[in-house]
């Protein structure tokens, strides 16, 4: 009887100390990282510029490139002279 109690006690201690081995790996942060949506897919918020088609990468690139060139006063001046 005494031997049985000792065995049971040892089993309980072993079970308690080895409980951590059954914990799931803590990699939740990496798993939660979501892929971003490309900007050429457009935004459904009513603030989109006109002149390009959402989901069309080429159209978006051309539109943004055109807008980009507007930051150069040399090209802006040229386009205003043509008009």
Binding site for other proteins (CB under 8 A): 29-30, 32-45, 47-49, 51-52, 60-61, 63-65, 67-69, 71-74
Query: Closest separation between CB of residue 20 and other proteins, Å?
Result: 22
Query: Closest separation between CB of residue 82 and other proteins, Å?
Result: 18
Q: Which is nearer to other proteins, 3 or 74 (CB)?
A: 74
Query: Closest separation between CB of residue 28 and other proteins, Å?
Result: 9
Q: 3-state DSSP: the chain helix, strand, coil percent, rounded to 5? A: 60, 0, 40
Query: Which residue in 60, 69, 68 sits closest to 37, CA to CA?
Result: 60
Give the span between the Cα atoms of 39 and 17, in whole angstroms: 51
Q: For residues 52 and 65, is the Cβ–Cβ distance under 8 A?
A: no
Q: Which is nearer to other proteins, 22 or 49 (CB)?
A: 49
């Amino acid at each position: 009887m005494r031997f049985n109690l000792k065995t049971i006690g040892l089993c309980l201690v072993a079970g308690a100390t080895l409980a951590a081995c059954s914990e799931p790996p803590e990699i939740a942060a990496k798993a939660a990282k979501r892929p971003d949506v490309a900007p050429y897919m457009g935004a459904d918020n009513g603030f989109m510029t006109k002149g390009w088609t959402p989901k069309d990468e080429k159209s978006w690139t051309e539109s943004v490139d055109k807008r980009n060139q507007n930051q150069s006063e040399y090209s802006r001046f040229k386009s205003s002279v043509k008009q």
